[in-house]
Structure 1
Amino acid sequence: MPVPDEVVIDGNLADWDLSGQTLMCYDLESLQDVCSAKVAVMYDAANLYISVHFADTTPMGNRHDPRYQAHKAWAGDSVQVRFKTERISHITAWYFAGEKKPGFYLDRGKDLNTPFGGGAETLFHQEGWKLERGVETAYQKDSDEQGYVQEMKLPWSLVTDRKYEAGDQLQLGFELFWGQGDWPSHRYADNLSEGANGREFFFTNHKGWGDLILEAEGNLNLPKPAWMKRQIEGQPTGPVEIEYELSKDGKVTLAIDDSDGRRVRNLIAAQSRTAGKNIEKWDGLDDAGTPVLPGDYRFHVLTHDGIHLKYALSFANPGNPTWSTDDGRGAFYGDHTAPQAAAAAGKFVALATPMGEAGKHLIATDLDGQRLWGLSNRVAFDGGHISLATDGTTLWVGTEGKQSLIYRVTLADGSYVPWGIVQKDNDGHEFRPVDLVVSELPGLAAAKAEANLRSIAWHHDVLAAAFARENEVRLYHAVTGELLSRIAIDEPKSVAYTSQSELLVLSKGRILIVDDKAGIRPFTTQTHADAWGLAVGADGRVYLSVRGTDQNVKVFSADGKPLREIGKRGGRPHHGQFIAGAMRQPAGIAIDSRNHLWVTEETENPKRTSVWNVDSGGLLKDLSGTTSYAGAGTVNPYDPSMGFADDTVYRLDWETGTSKPIYSVGKTENPDDLFPPSVHNLTSRVVQKNGLLYVYTTGAGRGSSDVHCTVFDGTHWRSVAHTGVVGHGQANQGRFSKYEHLFAGRDRQRYSWADENGDGLVQESELQFARIKINDQPVDLRSFYWGQLPDTDGTITYAVKNRQELVQFPVAGYTKAGAPIYDITKPHIVRPDREIIGGGNGEGQIIGGSNGRIYINQDPLIMVEPSGRVVGGYPNRHLSVHGSHRAKAARSGYLIGPSSFLGVIQVGDESKDEAGEIFCLNGNLGENYLFTHDGLFVQSLFRDTRGYSEKPARAERGMSLDATTAGGESFGGNFIRTAEGKTYLTNGGTDARVIEVTGLESIRRISGKFTYTHAEFAEAQTLLSQKLAETSAPKAFTVPRGTANVDGEATEWPALMDDEQLAMNVQENTRQRYARVLARYDDQNLYLAYRVFAPRSAMKNVGQDDRLLFKTGDAVDLMIGPDGAKDDAGNLRLLMTFKDRKTPIAVLNVKKAPGAAASEKFDFSSPWRTISFDRVVVTRGVTLASAGTQGGFIVEASIPWNEIGITPESGLKLKADVGVLFSDGGTQTVSRQYWSNKATGLVNDIPGEADLVPAGWGTFTLE
């Protein structure tokens, strides 16, 4: 809107024209009152004005200081506005609660295709609400403190050199953030361009930022937005009525099978229905939107009282609670790396891991181990070594990743403390730095060398730092960071100060005293080659952590005499019974004010910090955990007192809700340990046979072909079996390098190992190799990204590349050591009764159930019986991580990013109309999904991360977790049922959180038959024509005879402007339309008319290379070819547009054109593939015209049949598709929308955008 009058930036919007205000919210039902924003924009000749009225229950709580954390300010209450003019700019604006003043950060793109890298600056506060460069930002809380207004005045010069005026437009995207900690509690991106749907990485998805249109006049009278109508999307409609009766109210799922038992439609999913007679309507379409034929059908109803989640207990994390909380006290430290550093003074202890993602790498606790706060790495994913020092008020953090840095935080609350020196940035602004670069050598992450900055220690405003690779200890002023002196010492590994102000240095296993007057002398006569870290108590005693054969902490008197050892000498094993009174890989240590010793132990199975009594040497506290990133855990269904997480076995006490590690599972020191044991790798499958417990794990990504089996014999865990494939060229690389004599020449061969002698090690006689054959033809087996897990009998199933069979390896027997034998020379072939390998991105998984059932996570999600009969078939269009990024808002029955099967259980007997076998799938954006064995959706569990979810501040056993979220990328976990009939789901971010699942016993089944009549079929066809936007099925259109005067007007095409009449609709649904298209023909020409819905009245395309006009702006498209063409013979594309809005052009793309001139050939290439076309030429015979119309523009085209190589005749069927390409104002294509082919979201891959996909086209039939 234009500014109505002078605007005062004060946080009060009374002087605003809010007629164009837009509500931005992910989920109106749950978030409108707590996490939404009303956004308005005004302008004048000099400035752009933006107001954001946030709904926020904890308003204006951002703690990021503009002086030191401007680049991270988005991690709390803030807004980011992304501009694309002639350059890309990003602003972050927030209210800094710490000093009650505005913050503002401006980041720029390198160019129009590189959204970052062009420089950044912080605009600092001056007075009132004014900042530098003419920016003003004001904030005002709502009177009820349930929200706040953010009002901004931004000079145009910040984002453009152009003089914008009424009628102009630019691209503008918003990212809204809520939160008071160091990570957003909620985030939402909005104002997307037409057809764009990528919100997950909105900051780089500049092609998806929407339009900002500068209106000439204000006080608009806009129609009510769709959200105000409270429309129910996806409610089934249609001519077919399916009747059933419920004995009580409940959740209902209904699916339809044809007479052959094939799943046709999943009609409703866990919808609430009332007792008595119920009727569901069906439109005669299958799940793909394709009409099905009249005939006999069967329906299956699943009903239940509702499935609920109750918190049971947690393990593998010492936090209280074990999950992150808004007050920062929940969870513990990092996930990707083990604890390595400790410091203590006063009331606090600080602990750190070098790097964390879901877990904070740096935390502070009280003296009892209760976390108080946590901080993420200063640079994301950067950290290799860390050390800490404190005076009880300030915490110094020495970290080395790509660089060696020291920074400071307040120990009480984790707020950053800048160094006491003043520097100037490139713009001349004075600032006090947070990061002090202390070495010119590259850090260990960059140099791929041992850490240089090994240790820091504080004493009386002096900070000592040990640089091992530089053979030097340097002393810095602890406040200013000024370098005071250098001390040459060989390979200093740790430093500490004594109570007598003497500096101790650990050098080559010796503790030295460094004295300015007396020089360097030994502190003790002892040498420990594997010594690691130093600490000094208030009583002067010196503590030394030692690895190697000792694995404990040595204690010395103040004068260097050995006093005792803490921790059992020899330590606890990497593989074996967990010894609580022993250590392993002790690293950084500290003595707290209670004179207790804190030891970080740098192990992963488990991660551990232990606390010890320094006098008795007894263990006081065992802080075991956290898990790996999204690692979660498993509860043993045969013995629920046993839990698994990160190759650690825990004893679970269900009475008290506590746990403790009892066994570490891992690789031994023996070089023949090729396949070390494992009890949990994100997911696992527990099988009990012959009195032994077997745990199966699988790999992911490059290791997805592997399946490993570890056995528990009642006392010990050991590897017993493994199967996989020798990757191409890997016979002498990586894990196989020690076994070149075994694997050489075995590229791409399947291998299987079964332990014969019980040593858990690989001998040549225990290995078997084979090339798998089907019908005597060699085949390659296919693993989905997340691998495969066996069925209840241990049978492992693989897909086959480029074939529709499944290959199974059943257990052929057991060795005398109890190892299951997989005879890969005798695979069992399952031949499904229909195609089973569907769509998706390959990021799925296979798991076996009971009675030989096979479940495949793909699109569609299916089950295959041992006979090959395929059961079920559920739409699964957003597989795993990458698929979830394109998902719409969560709704019941809509699968968002399922990756892995968490487990398969039995609940009742399906033959008695009970649930039967149920499996659980995880989801990438916070939900989990339950299904029956025959593909009936039971219910989703948890909440989508993008919407509202609860985050309990305390762990109360039995509390409901229904409204919580499993979190983003919640890869790990398990779903089991105990012999006592209890069902548990384990998930977690950095913990193994055990949740009881209730309500499964209430599941009941109802089934029945009905006939879909010819009359209903005819009615359904009419309905389909009216609702083309609700289907992605292959489309059909009858092209009538007729002619047209190509003038760009719709006069001769009245149906084009009448939404009630039949047309080819290019749309997602009736509220997201892109175009209506009509066609007619005569003997000479095919005529097309496009009504394009757009915020502009003409196409614009600025491309210079005619062959790539589909990349550079607006266009309309025709794909056409013979029906049933093979190898793309005759298939072509005709792209039509106007260059610079005035020059019509039509480009013909023919993939296969025998005899075409070599000069017409063109290769469409990207960095990873090339697709060739025989002919790519500008065709002169096409007549093209366009004109503006209400809500967009009209495009008319006359296309000579001889230009496209088709001879028209009545009844001729052609494969065809029509579409529209939208741009970001005419420079780059950001959205591709088509009538038939809906797999057109790709806008960043030239070959993929150029290619012809006739399988996705509809059908033209000439009248």
Structure 2
Amino acid sequence: MPTPSLPLNPCTRQGVLAALLCSSLAALAPVHATETEHLGLRVLPATKPLAIDGDAADWDLSGGIFACGDVENQREQFAMWAHASWDADHLYLLARFRDPTPLNNPGQVEGDYGFAGDSLQFRVIVGSGDQARGSHWTCWRGRDGKTIMDVAYGVKFDQGALKDAQTKGAQQAFRIAADRSGYAQELAIPWALIAPAGFKPSAGAAIRLTFEPNFTVGTNGRLTVKELFAPGQQVDRVFTFMSPQTWGSATLMGVGAVAPAPVRLSDRREFAVHLDGGMPVVDWTGLVKQKTLAGHKKISFTMPFDGYISLNILAADGSVARQLLNTAFYAKGAHEVLWDGLTTFSWRDPGEPVPAGNYTWQALVHPGLGLSLVGWAANSGSAPWDGPTGKENWGGDEGLPISAASAGDRVLLGWSFAEAGKAMVACDLDGAVSWKHSRQGMSGCTQVASDGKYVFGVNGSVYRIALADGSYVPWPGRDSPDLAPKDLLDSAQHAKIPDEISALAANGGTLVMAVAKGDALLVVDAVSGALRKVISVPAVTALAARDATHVYASSNHDGVVLVDTVTGQVTPFAAVKDVWGLACDASGGVYAAVRGGAQQVVV
């Protein structure tokens, strides 16, 4: 940039110092992300039972609070108004979401965690002392339109669970805004599901409550907001579910139509709220303020792009008299800043008036640091991150590839553990990803098998998904894709055969589970989930299905046997020891993965 001359007349230190102390010296910069942080919620009385239909028309919205993780930038895109009401039988909640992609949670209620996308989570404690009852709620609608209100009881998640409170009288309804700028989620929760025995709600009573609205970002991304906290406590927006001492207070009011409370931010600023046609409206005046330098010498410059500028003022001898701007952000275009005539300041020294004379300035500008992708390692996907198609990333990010199976032109691969990645990948014979899957949040897939229609994986229990697209396929009558030995055996059998699956095989509508610690094979109907037979085979660590009625099994690492799953007959097949993996081909060949000193595949 040019170095214009700045003639400077004598000035008094007192006058310059006064100008310095009464102004902010921060240059223009990208606006900050400030969270909302409310310290109380008024639960207004319902004069009559509310219709749970997703319509806010019958609600008194005067007591609501606004939740957003970045009010400067996201208040119109990722935010929520939270309202609460009560009567003798129910706690009512209304969440009015601002969301550019309303109700696009990618999960299925049968097996996924709702908080991975559009959902409302809230945590509540009713009662006090030893009689207090805590619960964690995750309420959402899946990609197929099914809804669920999942509950985990106990502040420490140690008092049982209810898979869907809708089966016990809880209600919820959703309604997308006409302009698709968001949606409403309305809930009615019987006090009996959240309060201790004998609790009777009354005006003036208080409960502990905190909200966690979640948003789907893109196809599989997640944004979460935390709102309603206790005063005097260090706010925990990361492990809120583990920090009940930070949960806020919600007071059951005796009257409604209250004066709306201001929106409170984490920096303690407040913004007035008024009702317009019964709807709360925030006056955001003053939310974002442009900060400028104070002074009397103008310096004009033009930014060639949105970026950062460092500007020094130079004395006649070329020395730096003042570092005026230090990596300050400015938008493309013309700008003007002021210099107060002082030298560079520090926290110890406010700066000294410079001598009278001619000064010039020089500046360095740049658009900011950038990244250029060169490549990546340890990931066989088309990109090492999740992308818009859901097929870019590859495998588990916190484990090792540990299981494999094939079904026609599909190859199924399982990883021991995944958090951000996926524990199971289905790909074609060229390695192109067809779909990816994880059995809820952080999980693994230690065993995998397919009968050509379904895929069976092991993450503790056996779970079932569709080969075509990786969607959950619940077992008939169970509303769950999971199946474990405890679901198949009577108490006497289960006492000897634990819920630890050591191997899987599937073919022609038959699923075989091996339980090495129980010396057992469980033969299961792959469609109905019914137990057909229990066959005693010592310590099976590998299985491969020859056809719909026979499997090969590595027994006790002492050899491979052939098992008739209809009759239960066990016949020695190959005296190959230390076999940890088995597979069959279409022509009848059997492949055995041998560990120990051999480290070979034996055919």
TM-score (norm 2): 0.72
Displacement after TM superposition at 1:158 (Å): 3.2
Question: Is 1:412 aligned to 2:468, yes or no?
Answer: yes
| Partner deviation per Cα, 1:1095-1144 (whole Å, 9 max, x = no partner) | xxxxxxxxxxxxxxxxxxxxxxxxxxxxxxxxxxxxxxxxxxxxxxxxxx
Q: State the SS of the aligned residue for 2:419.
A: coil
Q: 1:467 to 1:434 in 2, by over 3 A?
A: closer
Q: 2:139 aligns with which of 79, 89, 93?
A: 93
**Separation in 2 of the partners of 1:552 and 1:212?**
65
Q: Does the CA contact (< 8 Å) of 1:137 and 1:150 recur in 2?
A: yes
**Aligned partners of 1:24 and 1:36 also within 8 Å:** yes
Q: Distance in 1 between matches of 2:213 and 2:183?
A: 13
Question: Which digits, 9 at most, give the CA deviation of each residue in 1:929-972, with x for residues without a partner?
Answer: xxxxxxxxxxxxxxxxxxxxxxxxxxxxxxxxxxxxxxxxxxxx
Aligned to 2:407: 345
The structural deviation recorded for 1:523 is 3.4
Deviations 1:339-360 (A, max 9, x none): 1111221353321011112211
Aligned mate of 2:352, from 290, 295, 303: 295
> What amino acid does structure 2 have at the position aligned with 1:79?
L
**2:111–2:440: 8 Å Cα contact kept in structure 1?**
no
Alignment of 1:913-992 (within 5 A): none
Aligned-pair CA distance for 1:174: 0.8
Cα pair distance change 1:108/1:473, threshold 3 Å: closer
**C-alpha distance after superposition, 1:618-648 (max 9, x if no partner):** xxxxxxxxxxxxxxxxxxxxxxxxxxxxxxx
**One-letter identity of the residue aligned with 1:210:** G
CA offset digits 1:371-398 (Å, max 9, x no partner): 23333355846x5x81111112211223
Distance 1:282 1:76, change over 3 A: farther
Q: 2:228 aligns with which of 191, 201, 219?
A: 191
Partner of 1:1166: none
Q: CA deviation at 1:318?
A: 1.5
Deviation at 1:322, TM superposition (A): 3.0
| Cα contact 1:249–1:274 (8 A) shared by 2 | yes
Q: Secondary structure at the match of 2:57?
A: helix
RMSD, matched Cα? 4.2
Judged with a 3 Å threshold, the aligned counterparts in structure 2 of structure 1 residues 219 and 300 are, in CA distance, closer, same or farther, namely farther
Q: Structure 1 residues 455, 347: closer, same or farther in 2, change over 3 A? A: same
Q: Are residues 1:60 and 2:103 paired?
A: yes
Of 387-396 and 235-244, deviating more is 235-244
State the AA in 1 paired with 2:447: S
CA distance, structure 2, for counterparts of residue 180 and residue 232 of structure 1: 25
Say if 1:238 and 1:282, in contact at 8 Å, map to a contact too. no
Give the partner amino acid of 1:116. F
* Residue 337 of structure 2 is aligned to residue 278 of structure 1: yes
2:250 aligned to 208, 212, 225, which one?
212
Cα contact 1:75–1:182 (8 A) shared by 2:
no
Is the 8 Å Cα contact of residues 91 and 189 (structure 2) preserved in structure 1?
yes
Distance change (3 Å), C-alpha of 1:265 and 1:328: same
Shift of residue 199, structure 1, vs aligned partner: 0.8
Paired residues for 1:303-702 under 5 Å = 303-309=365-371, 311=373, 313-325=375-387, 327-377=389-439, 380=442, 386-399=446-459, 405-420=461-476, 434-437=482-485, 453-478=501-526, 479-482=528-531, 484-489=533-538, 491-499=539-547, 501-507=549-555, 508=557, 510-515=559-564, 519-524=569-574, 527=576, 529=577, 531-547=579-595, 551-555=599-603
Secondary structure, in 3 states, of the residue corresponding to 2:457?
strand
Q: Which residue of 1 aligns with 2:162?
A: 121
SS at match of 1:480: coil
1:151-199: per-residue Cα shift (whole Å, max 9, x none)? 1122334333544444444332110112399965221111233464321
CA contact (8 A) 1:85 1:159 kept: yes
User: CA contact under 8 A between 2:217 and 2:223: conserved in structure 1?
Assistant: no
Partner of 1:1064 in structure 2?
none
Which amino acid counterpart does residue 381 of structure 2 have in structure 1?
G
Contact 1:417 1:434 in 2 (8 A): no
Match in the other structure for 1:229: 284
Tell me the distance in 1 between the aligned counterparts of 2:561 and 2:156: 52
Do the aligned residues in 2 keep the contact of 1:238 with 1:284 (CA within 8 Å)?
no
**Once the two structures are superposed, what CA deviation does each residue of 1:535-578 show, in whole Å capped at 9, x if it has no partner?**
112232222334556655444xxxxxxxxxxxxxxxxxxxxxxx
SS at match of 2:482: coil
Give the 5 Å matches for 1:1067-1078: none
Pairing of 1:823-842 with structure 2 (within 5 A):
none
1:31 lines up with 2:87 in the alignment: no
Pairwise mapping of residues 650-799 of structure 1 onto structure 2 (< 5 A)?
none
Alpha-carbon separation, structure 1, partners of 2:90 and 2:342: 53
Matched residue of 1:203: which SS?
A: helix
Does the 8 Å CA contact 2:505/2:513 hold for their aligned counterparts? yes
Using a 3 Å threshold, how does the CA distance of structure 1 residues 179 and 510 change in structure 2: closer, same or farther?
same
Q: Which residue of 1 aligns with 2:9?
A: none
Amino acid at match of 1:55: R
CA 1:158/1:255 → structure 2, altered by over 3 Å: closer, same or farther? Answer: farther
- 1:1072 is aligned to none
User: What corresponds to 2:64 in structure 1?
Assistant: 21
Decide whether the 8 Å contact of 1:348 with 1:412 is kept in 2: no
CA distance in structure 2 between the partners assigned to 1:35 and 1:65 by the alignment:
22
Cα distance per residue 1:117-154 (max 9 Å; x no partner): 233223454xxxxx533x22111122233422111122
Structure 1: gaps spanning 5 or more residues: 126-130, 423-430, 445-451, 556-1263
1:78 is aligned to 2:123: no
Distance 1:286 1:379, change over 3 A: same
Query: Structure 1 residues 295 and 233, CA, compared in 2 at 3 Å: closer, same or farther?
Result: farther
Rate the CA distance shift 1:296–1:494 in 2: closer, same or farther, 3 A: farther
Which range is displaced more, 75-84 or 478-487? 478-487
Match of 1:139 in 2: 174
Secondary structure in structure 2 of the residue aligned to 1:357:
coil
Aligned counterpart in structure 2 of residue 246 of structure 1, from 281, 301, 314: 301
Q: Which whole-Å CA distance do the structure 2 matches of 1:343 and 1:75 have between them?
A: 28
Query: Given the superposition, is the C-alpha separation of residues 238 and 158 from structure 1 closer, same or farther in structure 2, using an over 3 Å criterion?
Result: farther
How far off is 1:241 after superposition?
A: 6.5
Q: Quote how far apart the aligned CAs of 1:55 are.
A: 2.6
Structure 2 residue 153 is the aligned partner of structure 1 residue 108: yes
Q: Secondary structure at the match of 1:252?
A: strand
CA contact (8 A) 1:352 1:362 kept: yes
CA pair 145-217 structure 1, distance change in 2 beyond 3 A: closer
CA deviations over 1:728-767 (Å, ceiling 9, x no partner): xxxxxxxxxxxxxxxxxxxxxxxxxxxxxxxxxxxxxxxx
Aligned 8 A contact 1:42 1:48 in 2:
yes
- Secondary structure of the corresponding residue to residue 295 of structure 1: coil
Residues 94 and 286 (structure 1), Cα distance of their counterparts in 2 relative to 1, 3 Å cut: farther
Between the aligned residues of both structures, percent identity stands at 27
Q: How does 1:1184-1263 map to 2 (within 5 A)?
A: none
Q: State the Cα distance separating 1:457 from its structure 2 match.
A: 0.8
CA separation of 1:473 and 1:248: change in aligned 2, threshold 3 A? closer
**1:207 aligned counterpart, secondary structure:** helix
- Report if the CA contact (8 A) 1:191-1:211 is conserved: yes
The one-character-per-residue Cα deviations of 1:586-627 (angstroms, maximum 9, x if unpaired) are: xxxxxxxxxxxxxxxxxxxxxxxxxxxxxxxxxxxxxxxxxx
CA distance in 1, matches of 2:139, 2:544: 43
The answer on whether the counterparts of 1:351 and 1:362 sit within 8 Å (CA) in structure 2 is: yes
Matched, 1:177 2:214: yes
Give the conservation status (yes or no) of the 8 Å contact 1:181–1:328. Answer: no
Q: Secondary structure at the match of 1:416?
A: coil
User: What is the CA deviation profile of residues 29-52 of structure 1, one whole-angstrom value per residue up to 9, with x for unaligned ones?
Assistant: 543444222222233344332211
Please state how far the C-alpha of 1:361 moved relative to its aligned partner: 1.2
Looking at structure 1, the residues matched to 586 and 367 of structure 2 have their Cα atoms a distance apart, in angstroms, of 62
Aligned to 1:905: none
**SS in structure 1 opposite 2:393?**
coil
Deviation, 1:335, is: 1.9
